Structures are given as C-alpha cells and as structure tokens.
Structure 1
C-alpha cells in the first residue's frame, strides 16, 4: 500500500513522502492507526551514520520503532483486541517456530524482523499492520505518549530481570541517557533501595535527580567508587552495576564498583571493541549478564506504568507534529543535554 512516511533515503538525508509499504492484513494481524512515535538513539544513529554494525541502510527505509496507536481492523483469528482499542506495539517480530522462540528468548532469534532495522521499514507512517501477538492494549490510565515509551522501558525491565535483583539491593547505573534512566527506574520498581546514576553531563543528572531513590553522581567532579564506598563500606561495592553508557572507557570502573560475587549487567553497546579485565572479574567471582532488546516483558512494563509505580512522563522532553519530523530528527541528532525523549504525533 502507498503511505506518507518519514523516509531515510541515505545517510543524513530524510524526506517526508509517499512510499510503497508491503503491508497486508493477515488473519493473526491488526491494523493500527499510529498516534505517537518516539525517536530512539538507534534511529538517530542510522540517520547520522547510515549503519549500526552489520545493519546497513542500502535503500530507503521508514524510521521509527517506539509507537502507540489505535486498532482500526483485526484479522479473523484475533480475539483479544478490538477495533477502537488503544495499543502499543512490540517492534520485533520473530519466527515463533524458531529454536530461540521455543526457548523463550525470541529477542535473539537470528531471523527476527525489527522495525527500522535494515531492510525492515519502521512505523513513522500513519498506519501499520502488526501481529496481534505483539500488540498490547493500553489501560485508560496510560497515555499514548507513555505507550510509546514502553519500548525503551522494556529494555530497562529486561536488564533488571537479567540481574535477578534482591529486595534492598544497592544498584549503580553508568550513563544517564534515556536507557540508563529507564534501567534506573526499572531497578527501583524491582526493589532496589537506591540507585546511583553516574554521568559527566550535569543536565542529564539533574533529570535523574527528579526521582526519589536515584542519586546522581557527576564523575567529572567526584569519584563514583568513593561515593559507593561511603554508602556501601570500603572495599565492598554495589550489589548490581548496570553499564548503560556504551563508553569503551568505563569497564574498569564498572568492575571496581561492584561487590564480590555481585552482578554486572551490560546494557550499553560500545561502537568499538573494548578491553575487559577478565582476571578482576574472576577474582570477585562476578556474574556477568548481557542485554539485547527484551523478551516477554511488555505486559509487565505496561502494568508498572499503569500502577503509577513508574512515571515516565518527566522524560518526555518535547513533542513534534508529523510534518515536523525532519526537524525533530535534526534536533535529536544535535544531542541537546536537556533532551531525554523526543516524540512525534501523527494523530493529534
């Protein structure tokens, strides 16, 4: 079908234009009128660099994968969703017969088709068709804007689940970007007594400081290790350290900040290869977990937001109309320190 969309033509070239999209409603699908789409760091990276690792933009691609909207049509086999229902969509579509899916780890299915990951089109277009199994109803208390935030919050949820946290754990998050803040909020919801969030940028830390239970640490002014020593005792450390900055320089600090037999969860993705001190990790007998997107967490993420235990609204920095999409991406690419999440509305 033909639809107007925000199209990444090639590196650093965006256009709002008509494009043919390969959408056809199947019996297990729903048609969704898109309302709100968030701009993710990966969208911006494709725009500025034209690739992320092995995923290269070789032909025009519609951007966007954090979305909410309204169901306008349901396939014949769909019974849990109805026309007019407000929803958000999990953007990765695996092969449900794959070995990864049968193991419950469909996020690492090699054949997964993820919105706005070449060559798969994203959702910055007025209408999409999506599997009903990966489309989730939004409670009345969850706005469209919050619904579009479920996708990045799901990454925080996945990180906390992989950590297997205990009630009262002291946690550290390195990196106060959007994902770092999502991890911190998920950790608080998961029972952390407090979460130290470190960064170099004061504006980001000021946003983190709005939340009770989050302690900002500006590592340009004070040592993260010394702050942890004051809170956890010298020569000990935090129970869980989440690395969410993606910086290749932070790994020695991460290992220094976690307690013996503690947990390190690697969430941020470095652009270049990193040096990792395996012996230091072995000497503490650390458990090291990694995160790639998420699996089986969307429903719980939505319930946490609906319950009021997690408030994502302070992280929405500004909202743009669909016709302002290119300007929104240019602003996102400028990396203003006060911006956490920019969103685009298509059905205001």
Structure 2
C-alpha cells in the first residue's frame, strides 16, 4: 500500500508501506474498511513534518500522516449493522478505550489511552484504505461532498469549543486567529447563536476569507486595529461575552481578558508548545470563566447535520486541492504557511 510517510523530521516520502497492510489485513467484527477519498492537511501534520514532535509525541520511526478523512465503505465486519458497502462516510480519528474511566464519564477525548490517527505510534490515513470502528464512522447525506466531509474533523473542534462556551442567542464573541480552527470556531459560534463575531489575525488574505463567510463576522487586522478598543466602542464599554483563543500564540493568550465583558467566558483552543501566563487579576475582577478543550467529543453527527442543512458552509475554507501524487509538494507548500490558504486537501485515486 502506497502511503505518505514521514520518515523523520523534514523527510517525507510517498512509498509502499507493507507494515500497514499486515496490520489491517483482518477486519474485526465491528470494523469497516474504508476506501479513502479526501484527506485534509492539518497543522499538527505539518508540525510533525517540520519539528518531528508535538509535546510528548515524538516521531521515533516512520509514520503515515493524515487524520481529516472521508471515503467509501468497501467492506464491513460481521457484526456491523449501521453501515454497508458503498456508503459514503467520514471518520472520527480518535479511538478511546471503551472501558476507561474518562470514556465512562463521557469524556472519551481525554482518555489517556486514546489512539488517534497520525499521532505516534498510530499511523494516519494518507493511503488508499484504512480499517476503522463502525462506532466512529459516520454516513454522509447525499448533499455532503467528500471535500466537505473531510472538513468535519476540524469543524468538530469549533463546535466543541462553542459547546464548552455555552453560547447564548445574541452573544458577541472574539475569535483570535483566522486559521482553519479560528474560522470553523467563528462559524460554530454563529450557528450556536452569536449575533456578532470579531475575528482577529495578521493576514489580510485570511481576514478577507473570514469577512466573506458571514455579514455577522467583523475582520480585525491587529497590525492596525486594537481589538479591545474596537469592542469597547461597539459595546458601550462593556465587552464581548466570549473570547476564543485560536492562535496558539503566547502574546495573544496573554491578552484574552482585555476585550471580555464581566461574567464572560474565555475558551482556550490554540495549542501552546510551552507554559504560558495570563492576567489572573483581569480574570478575577470579571469573574471570568475559563474553558479548555482537547480535540472534541460527541459532535461529529452534529457537524455532518449542520453542513447538510446549510447551517454551516465549510466550502469557502477549502482553498487548495492536490492529488495524491503531489502529497510531498502539498506538505512543503503547507509548511511555508501561504497567507491566502486556509485548508489544503489531498484527493486519493479512486
């Protein structure tokens, strides 16, 4: 099976990977085999490529990349009841231990034993087929394309963040960062009921994409505009109800309370490579609630439903598509962080 293999930091190859053929030769009774169609390039995939590690997860041996996936079921296990051959699907990439304490509490995403695609030592899905549990594989409505379905995974982060924020109809929010996660968070906040969402970034091109997503989104170029001054002006000095930090920048994280209203909520989304500090006094005087998220849980069907109904449109976020043979080049381009690109995807041969 040919796959996109990260050999080590800064070294990618598109090559045969016989180990995965052996590993997935036998289909479990509650598993399905998926012929993969579209796989998105995530920032974590790129970070493994450029740094060779994310926190404690280190590339010590070759690993297949990719975890944002859609495809078609081509084989089902003997006990599978909800899917059949030919069903178009997307797949949730994290598989927890069903007997773990976290899973039993409903927080399966923070199960320490979770096996997540393209997180060492678990291989990802930039390859022709994969085997996946039926319970974490979701049938697509006819009006949801493979490209949109591959966006369900990043969208799930935004929906999980909006859920943790407890958005109320009419809330105002700031989303720090107009990357893929920032933009799906803005869309999720609007779908949950926000009246206005300010999106901040340094990239004019990304802010233009943000502005085109909804008239309720206000783009803010922080090189020339102060988000706190803008929010205070528009809210008679009160502030916004919600702040979502989606940059992963220590400087942005340090300022999360400045535009926040008393009693508001901050949701920390952006991954921080090192410990950060923020103004605990500013949080205290606002009685601010601070939430943290790690991936997502229980939201994939909601995401599929919102894309199908038109409540959320992810198509404008897909800015470039490559074929499988261009995978190495696609990652090299993604690593250069083109300012006009949000989500790049790779299509596999059918």
TM normalised by structure 1 equals 0.98
Q: Which residue of 1 aligns with 2:322?
A: 320
Q: Which residue of 1 aligns with 2:7?
A: 9
1:305 and 1:230 mapped to 2: Cα distance? 34
1:56-135 superposed matches below 5 A: 56-135=58-137
The structural deviation recorded for 1:126 is 0.2
Q: Which residue of 1 aligns with 2:49?
A: 47
**DSSP-derived class of the 2:44 partner:** helix
Mapped contact 1:36–1:347 kept (Cα < 8 A): no
The structural deviation recorded for 1:253 is 2.2
Q: Which residue of 2 aligns with 1:211?
A: 213
Q: Residue deviations 1:280-300, cap 9 Å, x none? A: 211111110001000000000
**DSSP-derived class of the 1:152 partner:** helix
Q: Which residue of 2 aligns with 1:275?
A: 277
CA 1:11 to 1:252, structure 2 compared with 1: closer, same or farther past 3 Å? Answer: closer
Q: Residue deviations 1:63-120, cap 9 Å, x none? A: 0000000000111111000100000000000011111111110000000000000010
**DSSP-derived class of the 1:209 partner:** helix
Unaligned runs of 5+ in 2: none
Q: Which residue of 2 aligns with 1:294?
A: 296
Q: Which residue of 2 aligns with 1:246?
A: 248
2:38 and 2:227 mapped to 1: Cα distance? 37
1:307 and 1:96 mapped to 2: Cα distance? 31
The structural deviation recorded for 1:322 is 0.5
Q: Which residue of 1 aligns with 2:344?
A: 342
1:334 and 1:327 mapped to 2: Cα distance? 11
Following superposition, which runs of at least 4 residues in structure 1 exceed 2 angstroms of deviation?
Answer: none
Q: CA RMSD in A?
A: 0.8
Q: Residue deviations 1:279-332, cap 9 Å, x none? A: 221111111000100000000000000001111111111111101100100010
The structural deviation recorded for 1:271 is 2.0
**DSSP-derived class of the 1:188 partner:** helix
Q: Residue deviations 1:2-50, cap 9 Å, x none? A: x110000000000011112111310010000000000000000000000
2:239 and 2:333 mapped to 1: Cα distance? 38
Mapped contact 2:213–2:316 kept (Cα < 8 A): no
The structural deviation recorded for 1:272 is 2.2
The structural deviation recorded for 1:249 is 0.5
1:251 and 1:14 mapped to 2: Cα distance? 33
